[in-house]
């Protein structure tokens, strides 16, 4: 999981709605789908992306599956500027290399 | 607003200053020619990032609107001559001054520059 997975996961408006519903409490897939106008396979896909980004977790009890927010998953989102502290030095190194590759 | 839509971010900036072993003109090209700029501004694999030039003072300052999945911010690059064939360089990345909204990439803005695939 990397930070861009988190941003990409929440860039989709439907996924964002699903995630916001989970912020209010644990839900199952049927409850999450309600009123969103998306199919069952589509909701499963959205949930898979959110899980892949470590934003939500899945809890199984027999046949019943509930989803809930993973609080740690939000940390990169809120502290994005701290991550850019690591981002730019590498980019500037790339600029230096690029300048060396460019002719005048 | 839900907690997801609004994350309060203090006024914060990151600043990086370097001296580059290249002429002012060459550095300006790397800032202003879209393909060259995308080559170094956007890390490989970051297809969630895009930018567009919002302000240009040739051979002096470039401002990019910087868009990642979390919102839009401002990247400013200032350059100045720094001796024979060398160029001073300062990059500043600032958050929005009050709130940062989590949004999908906007639909109405002009075309954005992305790293070539």
Give B31-34's long-range contacts (Cβ < 8 A, gap of 24+). Answer: B31/B62, B31/B77, B31/B79, B32/B56, B32/B58, B32/B62, B34/B113
Question: Closest-CA residue in chain B for A97?
Answer: B40
Tell me which residue in A8, A78, A91 faces B43 most closely, judged by beta carbons: A91
What residues have CB less than 8 Å from A16, skipping those under 6 apart? A10, B4, B102, B104
pLDDT computed for residue B78 by the predictor: 97
Write out chain B's pLDDT in tens, 117 residues. 444 444 444 456 789 999 999 999 999 999 999 999 999 999 998 888 899 999 999 999 999 999 886 677 889 999 999 999 999 999 999 865 323 333 322 223 344 566 655
Q: Measured between CB atoms, which of A8, A92, A100 is closest to B91? A: A92
The predicted structure's pLDDT at residue B95: 62
For residues A66 and A73, give the distance between their C-alpha atoms in angstroms, rounded to a whole number: 17
Residue A102 has a pLDDT of 95
Nearest Cα residue in chain A from B77: A92
- The predicted-structure confidence for A64-94, as pLDDT tens digits, reads as follows 999 999 877 776 666 666 778 889 999 999 9
Q: Indicate yes or no: CB of B40 within 8 angstroms of CB of A95.
A: yes
Residue A7 has pLDDT above 90, yes or no: no
As a whole number of angstroms, the distance between CA B13 and CA B24 comes to 25
Interface predicted TM-score (ipTM) over 0.85: no
Best mutation target among B68, B87, B100, B106 (most A Cβ atoms within 10 Å) is B68
How large is the C-alpha radius of gyration of chain B?
16
Q: Tell me the pLDDT tens digit for each residue of A15-55.
A: 988 988 998 899 999 999 998 889 999 999 999 999 998 99
Q: Higher confidence at residue B12 or residue A5? A: A5
């Amino acid at each position: 999981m990397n930070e861009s997975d988190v941003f990409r996961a929440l860039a989709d408006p439907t996924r964002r709605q699903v995630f916001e519903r989970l912020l209010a409490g644990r839900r199952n897939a049927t409850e999450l789908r309600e009123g969103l106008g998306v199919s069952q396979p589509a909701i499963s896909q959205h949930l898979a992306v959110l899980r892949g980004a470590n934003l939500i977790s899945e809890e199984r009890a027999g046949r019943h599956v509930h989803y809930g927010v993973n609080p740690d998953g939000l940390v990169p989102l809120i502290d994005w500027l701290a991550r850019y502290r690591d981002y730019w030095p590498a980019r500037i190194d790339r600029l230096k290399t690029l300048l060396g590759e460019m002719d005048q | 607003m839900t907690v997801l839509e609004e994350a309060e971010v203090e006024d914060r900036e990151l600043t990086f200053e370097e001296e580059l072993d290249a002429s002012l003109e060459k550095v300006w090209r790397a800032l202003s020619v879209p393909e060259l700029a995308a080559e170094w501004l956007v890390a490989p694999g970051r297809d969630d990032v895009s930018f567009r030039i919002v302000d240009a003072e040739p051979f002096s300052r470039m401002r990019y609107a910087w868009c990642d999945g979390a919102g839009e911010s401002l990247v400013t690059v200032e350059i100045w001559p720094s001796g024979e064939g060398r160029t001073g360089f300062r990059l500043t990345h600032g958050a929005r001054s009050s709130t940062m909204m989590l949004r999908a990439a906007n639909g109405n803005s002009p075309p954005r520059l992305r790293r070539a695939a």
